Amino acid sequence: MIKFLINIKTWQNAIKRDKMEAKAIVTDKYFEIDEVKKHLKNVNYILMAAPAPEKFIDTPIHFTIFLNTSDKFSQDVKSAILDKFMDENGISNPKEVLSQVMPVGFSMSAQDTAMPLLLLKPEDQASIPYELMHVIDFLGNSDKFYEAKTHKLTGWTYSYN
């Protein structure tokens, strides 16, 4: 089961929603490259679920799958991987699907496990150590991820070899 954490959409300001206060996850440290390699040693993949922007009513959850490989896949393989994750996790209605090799860093906070960080900005890539991973990023829906869907929380889970 996925462990959900405080909403990371609130990087600068705390907000009040449904009588609870959501705060940004405060990063204590970013993993150095040797720590990233050690951390990923027995990881198959990481699945992250976060609330999608409110305008996406039919796809209220933003999913990111971090595959522990930098292999590039054919479109058929990408589709098969996405279908497998959707079937196993009760995910429907995938939209805005991105599937490619991207830089991923890791940070530690008060949470039990390291948070994967998709590094899109060049300045983040220059300042945060990372590994290249195949990332599948998309919007979707699932009743299994009610914390993201209903409570607007973000969480991630690791799958190990």
Q: pLDDT per residue over 56-66, tens digit each?
A: 999 999 999 99
For residue 16, pLDDT beyond 80: no
Q: pLDDT per residue over 114-158, tens digit each?
A: 999 999 999 999 999 999 999 999 999 999 998 999 888 899 999
For the chain, the domains span 3-160
**CA 41 to CA 30: how far, in whole Å?**
17
Q: Report which secondary-structure segment, H or E, holds 146.
A: helix 146-150
Q: What is the pLDDT averaged over residues 84-91? A: 96
Q: Is 40 left (phi over 0), alpha (psi -120 to 50) or beta?
A: alpha
73 residue type, one letter: F
SS3 148: helix
pTM here is 0.83
User: Which residues are 136's β-sheet partners?
Assistant: 65, 99
SS3 79: helix
User: Which residues are 53's β-sheet partners?
Assistant: none
CB atoms under 10 Å from CB of 62, counted, come to 20
Contact at 8 Å (CB) between 154 and 49? yes
Q: How confident is the model at residue 4 (pLDDT cuts 50, 70, 90)?
A: very low
Q: Is 15 left (phi over 0), alpha (psi -120 to 50) or beta?
A: beta
CB atoms under 10 Å from CB of 113, counted, come to 16
Place of tokens 């198959």: 44
